């Protein structure tokens, strides 16, 4: 083509991009772009060629090669070229400049060029998508306003718009699973071509006929991992398996769903073996296969073999991940493991790496025995009795609680005062009726002295963990009697060895947390160690609170902390722990959890006034599970109304 038309600028640009997708050198491709620019600048009738395209495409090439200064120069030349504003590529070049300035932290220039790009006639969606991606990455509140405008301007691209809207909803804190599902559902429905579902409630028709397989995969993931609608997720994965038979990730997700939630071990095994057939070097497939052996057959030997195969076929960070999962397996199943050198070498392969340190700590935990717990109980009793003498008030945990949790405690405190007032009125005797009524009225006035004193007493009891609550174990009581009798306690040689093991693991965890102090998972591993091996419930509780209080956290983090306080509050009769569990499960429900397990857990500790509401939600949830297709459609319609998109979506639902 160039031989026939040697002055065609656009042909040189196309040739440069063809070379860019080969092994051609950067210098050679740049030479072709420069040839195109030279022809453009040399040509007196520049109106024939598009300077925006010429400079702009070279700018994109340099931008992708991380030559930012040179890319910026080419983009600027593009915007200043002959008739640039009339070019169809002008808006795209402006958006490219905005993205470049975003990467350099130049917010004023970024905003200027994005604004300029969106003020041009809306001929192509790409500049708008780039601006949408920026808003998603910055978690901007402007995103919904932009989406409404884009849906009006680009009706042929609804699938792409809703797919990105789903990604935005996933980044919200706390995220709303129903909103996420709505976005991916609309992306699927928008990309069904001319096909429309024959039935009103025909989710399977949508799954089978949508052209947006990416949206279908994200919708399946949302149903599975966020909404706990496992049967409907299975329908999605079956169709995904037909649409993408060579996709390893779909096989892995479907197999994990079948293993963890459907109890379908045969399907799980088929999917994991399919994943290994498609990718024999997939370490995650071996790790899932190990879980299959454990859950379906209780076969620790085969499971360990699979974990070791996963470790042997990886390197770098993937190797560290495999070691991490193997260490968790050893710790959870108390398996007699290989030599310590398998894990200690991680500190040399990954110096100053928190995950490597956690691997070692988990491995060492797997080697601990019951005598270590006995020593830990003695050590905890000695520490607690000493602290009790110094500060008899106990552990005040106010600084470990977030403002939201403190507000929940305050509301709970007010409710308890009202119940005290009610109890006084019901139990009052005729002879002392007037005095009882005075006390009751005082308790109902927040400005009264009696109310303030009662509130202070209740708040103190709710936010203070008393020493006595943690000294109920028989070993604790023996040590307490020894100390009371002024007897001196010393560890024997075996106990000293156990104590040394515990302190070593403790120090490894502390070192890992110094490397990554904000890692929620590492904090919870440490808290778990404090609970189960150091037998230090107050310190473990503080770390579980610490793991959720520094920043907005996930439902899983809240759930793990809630389980700790619920389990130990119930087992050891620690009222303050149950109060915190109640706050955490209330927050989990308010954050949009649709898990039946969360509702049931909360119902066991909720007040009588809240139990009826929770029971209603549980009944709705169980009926939801039995007819989830209808319920999903109801959710979708409600979300379209809540997001003020209902009128716009009428077209696509017709």
Here the CATH number for the domain that contains residue 73 is: 1.25.40.10
Question: Does the pLDDT of residue 288 top 80, yes or no?
Answer: yes
Is residue 250, in this structure, part of any structural domain at all?
no
pLDDT in tens, 560-594: 898 999 999 888 888 888 888 888 888 877 776 66
DSSP state of 398: G
Residues 468, 474: Cα–Cα separation, whole Å = 13
pLDDT value of position 435: 58
Q: Which of 65-79, 355-369, 414-428, 430-444 has the lowest mean pLDDT?
A: 430-444
Tell me the CA distances in angstroms from 63 to 76, 115, 128, 205, 305, one per residue in order: 13, 20, 19, 43, 46
Question: Does the pLDDT of residue 377 top 80, yes or no?
Answer: yes
Is residue 52, in this structure, part of any structural domain at all?
yes
Q: How confident is the model at residue 198 (pLDDT cuts 50, 70, 90)?
A: very low
Number of Cβ within a 10 Å radius of residue 93: 29
Range of the domain at 69: 1-124
Beta bridge partners of 395: 465
pLDDT value of position 133: 92
Please compute the mean of the pLDDT values over residues 435-460 and round it to a whole number: 73
Is residue 402, in this structure, part of any structural domain at all?
no
pLDDT value of position 646: 55
pLDDT value of position 241: 93
pLDDT value of position 47: 62
Please compute the mean of the pLDDT values over residues 498-514 and round it to a whole number: 94
Supply angle C-alpha 415, 470, 374, rounded to 5.
150
pLDDT value of position 257: 94
Please compute the mean of the pLDDT values over residues 253-268 and round it to a whole number: 93
Question: Does the pLDDT of residue 613 top 70, yes or no?
Answer: no
pLDDT value of position 458: 76
Q: Which residue has the higher pLDDT, 198 or 114?
A: 114
Rg (CA), the chain: 32
Residues 572, 222: Cα–Cα separation, whole Å = 37
pLDDT in tens, 22-46: 878 888 888 888 888 888 877 755 5
Is residue 404, in this structure, part of any structural domain at all?
no
Q: Which of 92-96, 146-150, 397-401, 597-601 has the lowest mean pLDDT?
A: 597-601
Residues 462, 399: Cα–Cα separation, whole Å = 13
pLDDT in tens, 378-396: 999 988 888 887 777 777 7
- How many structural domains compose the chain? 1
Question: Does the pLDDT of residue 174 top 90, yes or no?
Answer: no
Tell me if 601 sits within 8 A of 566, measured CB to CB. Answer: yes
Q: How confident is the model at residue 334 (pLDDT cuts 50, 70, 90)?
A: low
Q: How many residues does the chain have?
A: 654
Is residue 18, in this structure, part of any structural domain at all?
yes
Tell me if 172 sits within 8 A of 638, measured CB to CB. Answer: no
Q: What is the pTM of this model?
A: 0.70
Beta bridge partners of 464: 396
- Specify the residue for token string 């006995």: 374
pLDDT value of position 622: 47
Q: Which of 197-201, 484-488, 525-529, 610-614 has the lowest mean pLDDT?
A: 197-201
pLDDT value of position 624: 45
Question: In which element (H, E) is residue 366 found?
Answer: helix 354-366
Q: Which of 105-109, 193-197, 283-287, 397-401 has the lowest mean pLDDT?
A: 193-197
Most confident of 200-204, 219-223, 526-530: 526-530
Question: Does the pLDDT of residue 21 top 80, yes or no?
Answer: yes
Beta bridge partners of 458: none
Mean pLDDT (the chain) is 82
Please list, in sequence order, all residues whose beta carbon lies within 8 angstroms of the beta carbon of residue 45, skipping any fewer than 6 positions away: none
Q: How confident is the model at residue 142 (pLDDT cuts 50, 70, 90)?
A: confident
Question: Does the pLDDT of residue 199 top 60, yes or no?
Answer: no
pLDDT value of position 200: 47
Q: How much of the chain exceeds pLDDT 90, in percent?
A: 25
pLDDT value of position 634: 67
Question: Does the pLDDT of residue 633 top 70, yes or no?
Answer: no
Please compute the mean of the pLDDT values over residues 325-338 and round it to a whole number: 71
DSSP state of 552: -
Q: Which residue has the higher pLDDT, 494 or 415?
A: 494
Q: How confident is the model at residue 627 (pLDDT cuts 50, 70, 90)?
A: very low
Q: Which residue has the higher pLDDT, 432 or 378?
A: 378
pLDDT value of position 431: 53
Residues 410, 459: Cα–Cα separation, whole Å = 7
Please list, in sequence order, all residues whose beta carbon lies within 8 angstroms of the beta carbon of residue 550, skipping any fewer than 6 positions away: 518
Between the two ends of the chain, the Cα-to-Cα distance in Å is 48
């Amino acid at each position: 083509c160039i031989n026939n038309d040697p002055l065609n600028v656009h042909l040189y640009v196309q040739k440069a991009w063809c070379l860019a997708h080969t092994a051609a050198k950067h210098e050679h491709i740049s030479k072709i772009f420069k040839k195109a620019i030279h022809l453009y600048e040399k040509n007196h009738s520049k109106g024939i060629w598009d300077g925006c395209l010429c400079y702009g495409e070279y700018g994109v090439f340099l931008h992708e090669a991380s030559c930012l200064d040179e890319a910026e120069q080419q983009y600027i030349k593009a915007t200043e070229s002959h008739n640039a504003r009339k070019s169809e590529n002008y808006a795209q070049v402006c958006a490219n400049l905005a993205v470049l300035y975003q990467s350099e932290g130049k917010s004023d220039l970024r905003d200027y060029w994005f604004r300029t790009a969106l003020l041009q006639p809306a001929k192509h969606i790409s500049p708008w998508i780039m601006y949408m991606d920026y808003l998603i990455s910055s978690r901007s509140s402007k995103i919904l306003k932009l989406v409404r405008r884009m849906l009006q301007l680009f009706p042929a691209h609804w699938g792409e718009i809703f797919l990105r809207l789903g990604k935005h909803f996933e980044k919200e804190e706390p995220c709303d699973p129903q909103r996420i599902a709505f976005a991916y559902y609309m992306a699927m429905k928008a990309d069904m071509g001319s096909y429309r579902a024959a039935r009103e409630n025909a989710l399977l028709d949508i799954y089978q006929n949508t052209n947006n397989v990416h949206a279908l995969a994200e919708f399946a993931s949302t149903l599975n991992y966020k909404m706990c609608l496992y049967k409907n997720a299975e329908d999605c994965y079956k169709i995904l398996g037909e649409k993408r038979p060579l996709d390893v990730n779909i096989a892995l997700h479907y197999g994990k769903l079948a293993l963890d939630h459907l109890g379908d071990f045969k399907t799980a095994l088929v999917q994991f073996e399919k994943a290994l057939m498609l990718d024999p070097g997939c370490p995650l497939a071996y790790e899932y296969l190990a879980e299959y052996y454990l859950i379906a057959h209780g076969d620790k030997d085969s499971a360990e073999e699979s974990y070791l195969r996963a470790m042997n076929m990886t390197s770098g960070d993937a190797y560290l991940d495999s070691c991490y999962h193997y260490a968790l397996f050893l710790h959870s199943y108390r398996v007699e493991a290989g030599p310590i050198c398998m894990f200690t070498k991680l500190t040399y392969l990954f110096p100053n790496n928190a995950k490597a340190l956690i691997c070692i700590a988990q491995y060492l935990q797997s080697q601990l025995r019951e005598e270590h717990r006995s020593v830990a109980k003695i050590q905890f009793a000695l520490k607690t009795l000493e602290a009790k003498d110094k500060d008899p008030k106990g552990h005040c945990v106010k600084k470990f609680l977030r403002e939201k949790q403190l507000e929940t405690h305050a509301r709970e405190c007010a409710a308890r005062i009202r119940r005290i007032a009610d109890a006084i009125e019901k139990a009052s005797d005729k002879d002392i009726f007037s005095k009882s009524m005075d006390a009751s009225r005082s308790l109902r006035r927040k400005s009264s002295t009696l109310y303030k004193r009662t509130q202070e007493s209740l708040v103190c009891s709710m936010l203070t963990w008393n020493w006595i609550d943690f000294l109920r174990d028989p070993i604790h009581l023996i040590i307490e009697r020894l100390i009371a009798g002024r007897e001196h306690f010393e560890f024997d040689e075996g106990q000293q060895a156990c104590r040394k093991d515990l302190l070593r693991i403790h120090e490894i965890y502390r070192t890992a947390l110094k490397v990554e102090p904000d890692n929620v998972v590492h904090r919870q591993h440490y808290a778990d160690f404090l609970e189960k091996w150091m037998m230090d419930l107050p310190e473990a509780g503080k770390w579980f609170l610490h793991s959720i209080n520094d920043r907005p956290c996930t439902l899983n983090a809240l759930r793990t902390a809630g389980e700790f306080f619920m389990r130990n509050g119930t087992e050891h009769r620690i009222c303050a722990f149950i109060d915190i569990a109640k706050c955490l499960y209330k927050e989990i429900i308010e954050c949009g959890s649709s898990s039946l397990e969360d509702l049931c857990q909360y119902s066991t500790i909720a007040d009588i006034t809240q139990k009826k509401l929770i029971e209603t939600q549980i009944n709705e949830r169980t009926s939801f599970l039995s007819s989830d297709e209808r319920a999903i459609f109801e959710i979708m319609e409600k979300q379209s109304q809540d997001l003020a998109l209902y009128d716009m979506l009428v077209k696509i639902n017709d």
